[in-house]
Structure 1
């Protein structure tokens, strides 16, 4: 693979362009690595008691709906977001994964999954007491996402 860096002080914003003859596994993985790396410093607007907070996406362990409200959980806090889950799915980096109709999880923060064949499986997170459940229909896509993220990080 050929890598070229073009430096010009007139560029306003950094841009990465991938030129290829076809989309293959290597190109897809490269794109995922770059998009994940780019999302590290991305912050999301959250609310708590009428105060706006700007939290880094990497600090969010999961999003869940509670009635009409979507809540964002960090290890120690719970915030509200004005986004709906389907909107979040479109803007979140590739290390987030839908695990039920009412939740999206940060795959990089998963510590363990207690599998339950007849019901939802329990997900526990690093350095926190919080947990959430993955629906049976979303279990396989979650496992695939975990494997995918493990292979690119």
Structure 2
């Protein structure tokens, strides 16, 4: 696929045009991400500092609900917010998927996973962090990964 990028003046509105033969789920995900890209960050407080920071979505490995707070994990810093997980699930782009009642991951950082004896999956992120995918969310994870992949998943 040929990609063209044109840098425009700051005062002009950014736009994107696709010349495609068919709308696939991958294209729909790209469109959804682009539509949400005007707010492509979360505001949260670092656990080590007491100040709000903008965290780009692209830096977030996963989010976890714990002790009435949402912890946001990046490669090197942990942030916290009091925003409910269901609201974040609605606001975040499609590459974030819920894998349990308390955890959402950014599938761009999903490195591999393995099946546990109890039926759960263990997802291993690119920073070697391990999180459990509960049985309830395995099928939606598989469906999401299949839509990003050209070949069916085997496990």
TM-score of the pair, normalised by structure 2: 0.74
Contact 1:39 1:57 in 2 (8 A): no
| Aligned residue in 2 for 1:147 | 146
Deviation at 1:106?
0.5
CA distance in 1, matches of 2:138, 2:77: 26
Unaligned runs of 5+ in 1: 1-8, 19-24
TM-score of the pair, normalised by structure 1: 0.75
Unaligned runs of 5+ in 2: 1-8, 151-155
SS for the counterpart of 2:28 is: helix
RMSD (Å), alpha carbons:
2.6
Alignment length (residue pairs): 135
- The answer to whether structure 1 residue 62 and structure 2 residue 62 are counterparts is yes
Contact 1:119 1:136 in 2 (8 A): yes
Contact 2:62 2:106 in 1 (8 A): yes
| Aligned residue in 2 for 1:122 | 122
| Aligned residue in 2 for 1:45 | 43
Structure 1 or 2: more helix by fraction: 1
